[in-house]
Amino acid sequence: MALSTLTPLAYTGRCCTGTRVGRGGPARPGRARRWQGRILVGSGLALLPWLGYLAGTLPPVEAIAWVTLDVLEAVALLAAGTRLWRADLRHRAPAAAAAVLLLADVCVDVATAAPGPELAVAAAMAVAAELPLAALCGWLARRRSA
C-alpha cells in the first residue's frame, strides 16, 4: 500500500517517461503552455550573455559565486521550459528549482547592493523580471497537468 502512494503515475494512466499519453499518442501542449515554455527558455538563454558579463567584470571570488548561481538558474529555466514546451510532466521539478533560485537571487541582490543607484537597479530587476518569473515557475511547479 505504501508503494502505491509513492508512485502515483502508475495509477493515473501516464507512461513512465513523464509525458501525457492519450488516444492519439503524446499530448501536444496548448497555446498557453507553449508561450510559458518560450518565456522560460528565452529567460534561460538571456542569462547566457549576462554570465559572460559577470565573469568579466566582477572580482574572481565574487564572479564564481554569482556565475554559479546564474548558471543554475539558466539550467533550471531551460530544463523547465523545454519540458513544458513538449508537454512533459517532468517540468515541475526544474520549475520549482528555478523559482527557489530566482528568489534566492533576489534576496542576495537586494541585500548586497550598495545604497543608491545599485540598490535601485537591483530592486528594479527584482520587480520587473526575477519576481514575476519566480511566480510563474512556482505556479507551474504546483500545477499538476502539462
- Rounded mean pLDDT, 20-29: 52
Greater pLDDT, 26 or 52: 52
The pLDDT of residue 85 is 86
Q: Is the pLDDT of residue 19 over 80?
A: no
Q: Do 141 and 96 meet the contact criterion of CB atoms below 8 Å apart?
A: yes
Q: What is the pLDDT of residue 27?
A: 55
The burial class, CB within 10 Å (0-12 / 13-18 / 19+), for 36 is: buried
Which band of pLDDT confidence, cut at 50, 70 and 90, is reported for residue 41? very high
Any residues with CB less than 8 A from the CB of 31 and at least 6 apart, and which? none
Give residue 145's pLDDT: 62
Q: Where are the beta strands (DSSP E) in 23-145?
A: 25-26
83 CB contacts (<8 Å, ≥6 apart)? 37, 90, 91, 94
pLDDT tens digits for range 74-108: 999 999 999 988 888 889 999 999 999 999 999 99
Q: Cβ of 109: how many Cβ atoms within 10 Å?
A: 19
Extract the C-alpha cell encoding 113.
547592493
Give yes or no for a contact between 52 and 99, defined as CB atoms under 8 angstroms apart. no
Residue with cell 530592486: 123
Q: Tell me, what's the pLDDT at 120?
A: 97
Tell me the whole-structure pTM to 2 decimals: 0.77
The H or E element spanning position 21 is: strand 21-22
* Mean pLDDT score of the chain: 84
- For the stretch 45-61, pLDDT in tens is 999 999 999 999 999 99
Instruction: Check whether 10 has a pLDDT greater than 70.
Output: no
